[in-house]
Amino acid sequence: MESYNNLQPTKVFKYFKEISDIPRGSGNEKAVSDYLVKFAQDRGLEVVQDKALNVVIKKPATAGYENGPTVILQGHMDMVCEKNNDKLHDFEKDPIELIVDDGYIRANDTTLGADNGIAVAYALAVLDSDDIEHPNLEILVTTEEETGMGGVINLEAENLSGTIIINMDSEEEGIFTASCAGGIRNRINIPLEFTDLGEDFMGVKVFISGLKGGHSGMDINKERGNANKIMGRVLNILDKKFDYYLGDINGGSKMNAIPRESEALLFIKSEDQERFLMEITEIDSMLAKELEFSDTVFIKAERVETNLQAMTKKTTKMIVKTLLLIPNGIKTMSMAVKDLVQSSTNLGVIKREKNKICLESAIRSSVKSLKYAVVDELTGICEIFGYTYENSSDYPQWEFAKESYIRDLCVSTYEEITGKKAEIFAIHAGLECGFLGEKLSANGHIDMISMGPNMHDVHTPQERLEIESTRKTYEFLLELLKRIK
């Protein structure tokens, strides 16, 4: 860790390391939330931890800033927990292994958690400094952002009085986000029926791997392969040529991550084994060709011994056709904002739960009505096939403000100190700003901006944080605070 310990700004990277040592997957934030509370108490700062484990830390203004607006610095403490299949890592108890690599920080075959641990590190560095000029500050660190924004949904708004919010959950330096998509999560439950097969059937597992994956909002426009949808295509092709029965199917691990891997257990006739494996090879070549400019994919099959029971032909057909029909990817593009995805859906997870298969999709849209139009497509499939479904974690979009003091200040400050032109951007990812604008409306007009350093491949084991951009973004944040009076 010697090279890591020499990184600048020292305090930012110190606190990033400390929170990286604390397991903090969504739903497992008690330890990191308590860490934040103790951090504040040790420095004599006012702190509140609410029932959702959100933490608010307050720091009084420095001399000359007492009459300025109160600024909320905001990020979330949880992270997406993804790892490569061959990596032994327990996200419930193991620290993230940080590696300095050619100007970046990455993890050892797991997600890094810079989304959004770097925001927490920035905030702690500001709180722990006595030589920074700033207005009254309220540091808000929320929970469960990555799994439906449970923390901000249950935020106790009376603990905050600020009217300017600087959200630090963006991923490109010099690009300031001023609008984001809303979202909703959908879960489809497919009931299973089983049958007994004769001894002339054998178990074969089909594996899909090698895909890049990525953030289901930020990366949905990159035309990367979705392992679960690819599995649907593979199974449908096989259905035309072989008499097979499904035994099991699982793919992806997070609704808001484009799935990189998927696998299915099939029962095929023993006499078809050689022909089956040849067909898999042909499908592998076909899909590799389709994705050659956007992704990589590997499809293979191998014989397995299993005690699992085969699903009926009817159940098998229903699952295959549902995977084929379920919407996925970009639905509409914005005609108002160049290159902005307007609405999309991501089939992030397929998982077996006892006697049912569950399909979980994350739907996003910057237009409320289009969000529910995608939901209608999913529920329409359920009504036709007779499935049950649930919709949850419905969160609002953040609409672009016609006028914004903090947005204009970000642009002028960035251009003055860097000599580069700042960009104002709308993103297809979800941010907590939509909820915060609604929750804190009693405080008066809520003026918001989102910013952050350069990060790449978030929500994947290839996630990395640019070191120099982290430094420059922190220095920009300090200058921005200095100018808010």
Look at residue 249 and give its three-state secondary structure.
strand
What are the structure tokens assigned to 316, written together?
Answer: 């098998």
Tell me which residue of 365, 373, 378 sits closest to 434, measured CA to CA: 365
Q: Is the CA virtual torsion 111, 112, 117, 118 positive or negative?
A: negative
The catalytically annotated residue of 50, 78, 173, 295 is 78
Q: Which residues contact 290 (CB under 8 A, 6 or more apart)?
A: none
Q: Read out DSSP for 408-431?
A: HHHHHHHHHHHSS--EEEEESS--
Active site residue 78: yes
- Sign of the four-CA dihedral 32, 33, 38, 41: positive
Give the Cα-Cα-Cα angle 466, 457, 372 (nearest 5 degrees). 130
Reported as type and span, the H/E element at residue 103 is none
Neighbouring-strand partners of residue 481: none
Annotated active-site residue in 29, 50, 144, 145: 145
Beta pairing, strands 464-466 & 104-107: antiparallel
- In this structure, the number of other CB atoms found within 10 A of the CB of residue 412 comes to 12
Encoded tokens for 77: 């403490």
Q: Inter-axis angle of helices 30-42 and 114-127, to 10 degrees?
A: 10
Q: Is 339 in contact with 175 (CB distance < 8 Å)?
A: no
Q: Which residues are catalytic?
A: 78, 145
